Structure 1
Amino acid sequence: MQFEADYFNGISPRAERVLVTITEDAFTFNIPTADAGQSVQKYCAFGINDCQIQAKLGRGRRLIDLPDNGRLETEFQDLEAYLPKRLSNPIWRAIHYAESHQLIVLAALVGIVLSTLVLLKVGVPVVAKLAALATPPAIEKDLGKQTLDALDHHQLGYFTASELSEAKKSAIQHALNDLCLKTGDCPSYQLSFRKSPEIGANAFALPGGYLVMTDALVALAKDDNEIVAVLAHELGHVKGRHALRQTLQGTISGIIVIAITGDVSSIAAGLPALMLNMNYSRDLEIDADHYALKSLRTACIPTQSFATLLLRLEKSHGDAVVPEMISSHPETKARVMPFLSKQPTCRLSDS
């Protein structure tokens, strides 16, 4: 069996057109060369077992890497059919067979897409949860501090200094401390107030227990109970280390997508943008809601406070993009029903 190919010697970019013969165990061909001013043919023979025949890619040229760092490139596609059976690797034969049949390629593509979706939907959250639990609190706190500092940076323009009075800030902090004193179940946290025309009325939790509340949300609330109710929800995120889990989940998902698509540029997104635009999963939001409902009941704060502010917040945004607090959350009306239902008589234990 013979086929034409371009021979590259591994040194010069210029190719020599050669006629390759497949013998029992070798590729053989002659290369034109000059010797003492005369044109002669140099005989070359390379053992098939010593060559690397690269995988077939569509109708692209077939590549044969030679042991002397040279290469043969040919338009001849069916190399495997003419290789000695005892020398042809059965695994490569199977790969070439699969690559040359469209139904197999289509089935593989569908399988990759489905397995990737399952991995992103099920596997990544589990891995992110385990990784978050294994992360030392000091590292998580440092991550949250760096994120808050980045959001505060004047070049990003997300936050400016809060314009709330010190008395109002103190009242909110005191009310939240009172809730934690009564429940005895609050994680370590640090409450910060910011003004942000970009974000609007919002409250969210960063890794390490950093709680951020905007002036616009304070202005939207009718009383401190509504503010504390929202902060109780954010404490639920802190308790479950949800912010870190979401950050890890986004990072792991990004790595998987980059590994599949090869688009390294997609890793350039910054952590601050990720934290502001992350979509909390339904399970994490429901978990934080349960924590808030339990905390409000224990502290004898009307649970309706959370529901009324959440509904007012949704109404205030109208058709605009909803804020992080309710973005990609369970449907709001269903979500507030447990907070609006009749609550048992509240009795604080004597202490």
Structure 2
Amino acid sequence: MIRGVWYAPQTSRAVEASLVLETGGRLTAQDEAGAALASCEFSAAEVSDRVGSIARRITFADDSVFETGDNDGIDRLLAPVAKPGSGFVHSLERFHPRLALFVVVVALLAVAIYRFAVPVLVEVAVLVTPPVVPVLLSSSTMATLDGTVFEPSKLDAETQKNIADDFRDLASVSARGSDGYTLNFREGGHIGPNAFALPDGTIVLTDELVKMANDHQTVLGVLAHEIGHVDHEHSLRQIYRAAGVTGLILLIGGDVGAGVEDILIQGSALLQLRHSRSAEAEADRFSIELMHRTGNDPLAISRFLELIRDKLGDTSDSDFLSTHPATPSRIEETRRYAEELMAAATD
């Protein structure tokens, strides 16, 4: 006999009661006088699983409920009629080595999903993304940054025109053509010298970067690099990858929808996404090839990487350096590739 509380169906009435398993496998809840409050075959009742010290609930066929904190007593009472495996969750809690194994399996599964499933899903998502999605993401980002970070550009009109004209020349020979990109000048505020591309072809160039470069060809090399990010859809891939990783984490912790939604709609978060090494290398090569093809200096991006290394240094908190690392190997690789391209052109 198990002591507990019986709750009548469709009401909040509670009665001190006991639970008994009668001959033949019939469950009955009785009041203190021994009168039956509810009764049904065990197969018609619903018994909650044992989880920690949480009270157990037995729901009868008439929807009345018997509740008790005597978990051990319930297990003993129902042992003759319980289904095999019904105590699986509790057995995991009680047998710690098995629980550790379960945690390891979940961790390995998460790693496998991140390593193999997420990249495949990212590529599929990029392929099926409607054109309106990059536009919405980019407009949201610009609206957020214009409202919180950026100020209108203070570059003189002639400087802006010269950069914009040559930018159009670069864009005209790329995949989207000159109409597929929009160049925006902004004063960068706390993000300082920076340039970045958004999924719809919007490219932002800050006054601080133009002033730091102090060289027209170097600025064009940076813009060619950002065109490369757009043409290879790096930003869109990074957004989906970040959403996928966030979804994987929250799938384990709960509340998947809200976390992924934050990644997709918070424009300021897009600026912080770091491109992979392969994406940066691909954009570097694109810049070198595009600059060479348009009669500009293919070494421009290499010089710019040297410039941010020398002026910003490894200890800088610059947002550009955090998302565009100027490592020695990257500088060496861009210079080597540019020199090979120029040498091949003279042969």
Counterpart in the other structure of 2:25: 25
CA contact (8 A) 2:134 2:199 kept: yes
Shift of 1:14: 5.5
Shift of 1:233: 1.2
Counterpart in the other structure of 1:302: 297
- In structure 2, the CA distance between the partners of 1:55 and 1:43, relative to structure 1 (3 Å rule), is closer
CA contact (8 A) 1:207 1:244 kept: yes
Counterpart in the other structure of 2:167: 176
CA contact (8 A) 1:5 1:19 kept: yes
Counterpart in the other structure of 2:132: 138
1:118 and 2:118 equivalent? no
1:229 and 2:218 equivalent? no
Q: Name which of 317, 321, 331 aligns with 1:321.
A: 317
Shift of 1:195: 0.6
Aligned counterparts of 2:303 and 2:252: Cα–Cα separation in 1: 45
- In structure 2, the CA distance between the partners of 1:186 and 1:335, relative to structure 1 (3 Å rule), is farther
Single out whichever of 104-113 and 119-128 deviates more from structure 2: 119-128
Q: Name which of 241, 246, 263 aligns with 1:254.
A: 246
CA contact (8 A) 2:225 2:284 kept: yes
CA contact (8 A) 1:31 1:44 kept: no
3-state SS of 2:71 partner: coil
AA aligned to 1:163 is K
Q: Name which of 243, 247, 253 aligns with 2:235.
A: 243
AA aligned to 2:225 is H
Deviations 1:288-329 (A, max 9, x none): 223223223333433332122123224433423242x44356
Counterpart in the other structure of 1:290: 285
AA aligned to 2:274 is N
Aligned counterparts of 1:331 and 1:191: Cα–Cα separation in 2: 24
Counterpart in the other structure of 1:338: 333
- In structure 2, the CA distance between the partners of 1:287 and 1:14, relative to structure 1 (3 Å rule), is farther
Q: Name which of 63, 69, 78 aligns with 2:63.
A: 69
Aligned counterparts of 1:75 and 1:50: Cα–Cα separation in 2: 22
CA contact (8 A) 1:281 1:328 kept: no
Counterpart in the other structure of 2:49: 55
* Counterpart mapping for 1:88-103 below 5 A: 88-103=82-97
Shift of 1:89: 2.8
Q: Name which of 258, 274, 277 aligns with 2:272.
A: 277
Aligned counterparts of 2:240 and 2:311: Cα–Cα separation in 1: 32
Aligned counterparts of 2:51 and 2:288: Cα–Cα separation in 1: 58
Task: State the TM-score, normalized to the length of structure 1.
Answer: 0.84
Counterpart in the other structure of 2:205: 213
- In structure 2, the CA distance between the partners of 1:283 and 1:340, relative to structure 1 (3 Å rule), is closer
- Residue segments in structure 1 that go unaligned for 5+ positions in a row: 33-38
Shift of 1:72: 2.1
Aligned counterparts of 2:117 and 2:326: Cα–Cα separation in 1: 25
1:194 and 2:186 equivalent? yes
Deviations 1:71-128 (A, max 9, x none): 222233244454365x533342444433432222222122223322332344223212
Single out whichever of 209-218 and 239-248 deviates more from structure 2: 239-248
Percent of residue pairs identical: 25
1:165 and 2:159 equivalent? no
Q: RMSD of the alignment, in Å?
A: 2.8
- Residue segments in structure 2 that go unaligned for 5+ positions in a row: none
CA contact (8 A) 2:55 2:71 kept: yes
CA contact (8 A) 2:228 2:282 kept: yes
- In structure 2, the CA distance between the partners of 1:25 and 1:246, relative to structure 1 (3 Å rule), is same
Aligned counterparts of 2:247 and 2:68: Cα–Cα separation in 1: 36
CA contact (8 A) 2:21 2:28 kept: yes
Deviations 1:200-256 (A, max 9, x none): 100001121000010000001131111111111111110121222222222333333
Shift of 1:176: 2.2
- In structure 2, the CA distance between the partners of 1:322 and 1:116, relative to structure 1 (3 Å rule), is farther
3-state SS of 1:29 partner: strand
Deviations 1:258-291 (A, max 9, x none): 3321257655565222112122222322222232
Shift of 1:46: 2.4
Aligned counterparts of 2:291 and 2:43: Cα–Cα separation in 1: 74
3-state SS of 2:103 partner: helix
3-state SS of 1:327 partner: helix
Aligned counterparts of 2:275 and 2:106: Cα–Cα separation in 1: 26
Aligned counterparts of 1:345 and 1:299: Cα–Cα separation in 2: 16
Aligned counterparts of 1:333 and 1:14: Cα–Cα separation in 2: 75
